[in-house]
Structure 1
């Protein structure tokens, strides 16, 4: 069974994401949150998808695109660390990615389909990681991180941003 990573297995800036994830049932949580995310974004109109809750903040479409891009990057890191690859992995600037993605020009349905494909690939990867690989340590963005920490970060990052969408964008 995959257990929660210790605080020394990942950089401090990931603590808020890891803390959102329950101790047990990570794989089931990823599956359930796939459905919750689909339900959340499926009920948002194209017009609402362009809404920003404050000046300089991302639109709802951009938030979903960011969740997806980040999950892709973190899943790649998960694969590399799980396979014992010690090559340092570069960081990324989330604002640059959001700007370059131009998700406001895509339909919300298209962005949501992209998220679903990405999450299903993440679930498949996690299901097939050998037990001994969960404690592997790699280097991402100049910091040590374990396979299991990355898996928890993926889940917590998505939960964090969906909570923001519910509380700041869709709050009536």
Structure 2
């Protein structure tokens, strides 16, 4: 079982995500989250997919696309760190990613399918890493970070956005 990361294993910014993850098996959490997000957004209308709760905020489609993009990036970080490559990752611009993805041209169900595939790839990586890989360290935000902290950040990031989707996008 992948143990919860200690606070010295990640930048304090990420605590807001890690604290959301329950104390259970991480692989099981990732699989349950995929199912929960899929069930939450299955059957959403085109109008709901394009809804923005404020003009300057992302649409629901953009939020879901963002979730998949961030998970892709963090999963790559896990792979690199767990394989022993000593690297410092530069910050990336989530807004630039979202703008250039142009999620508005896609159907929400296609973005949801993409998100599910991304999560399946993450679950596969998590299930295949050797124990020693989880405690190897890289650098993110000029701070040491372990592969296991990144895995917990992925889970917490999804929980963070599930709550936002429920509170701000689906209760209109």
TM bracket, shorter-chain basis: over 0.9
Provide, for residues 101-123 of structure 1, a one-character-per-residue CA deviation record: whole Å limited to 9, x for no partner: 10011001110111011000000
Provide, for residues 76-115 of structure 1, a one-character-per-residue CA deviation record: whole Å limited to 9, x for no partner: 0000111111122222111111111100110011101110
* Residue pairs, 1:69-108, within 5 angstroms: 69-108=69-108
In the other structure, the counterpart of 2:114 is: 114
**TM-score normalized with structure 2 length:** 0.97
In the other structure, the counterpart of 1:44 is: 44
Q: Does 1:2 align with 2:8?
A: no
C-alpha separation in 2, matches of 1:104 and 1:163: 22
CA contact under 8 A between 1:2 and 1:24: conserved in structure 2?
A: no
C-alpha separation in 1, matches of 2:7 and 2:141: 17
2:88 aligns to what SS in structure 1? coil
C-alpha separation in 2, matches of 1:117 and 1:31: 12
In the other structure, the counterpart of 1:126 is: 126
CA contact under 8 A between 2:11 and 2:140: conserved in structure 1?
A: no
Q: How many Å apart are 1:25 and its aligned residue?
A: 1.0
Q: Which runs of 5+ in 2 are unaligned?
A: none
C-alpha separation in 2, matches of 1:45 and 1:11: 38
In the other structure, the counterpart of 2:161 is: 161
C-alpha separation in 2, matches of 1:23 and 1:136: 21
In the other structure, the counterpart of 2:151 is: 151
Aligned length: 172
**TM-score normalized with structure 1 length:** 0.97
C-alpha separation in 1, matches of 2:170 and 2:145: 34
C-alpha separation in 2, matches of 1:48 and 1:62: 12
C-alpha separation in 2, matches of 1:27 and 1:110: 24
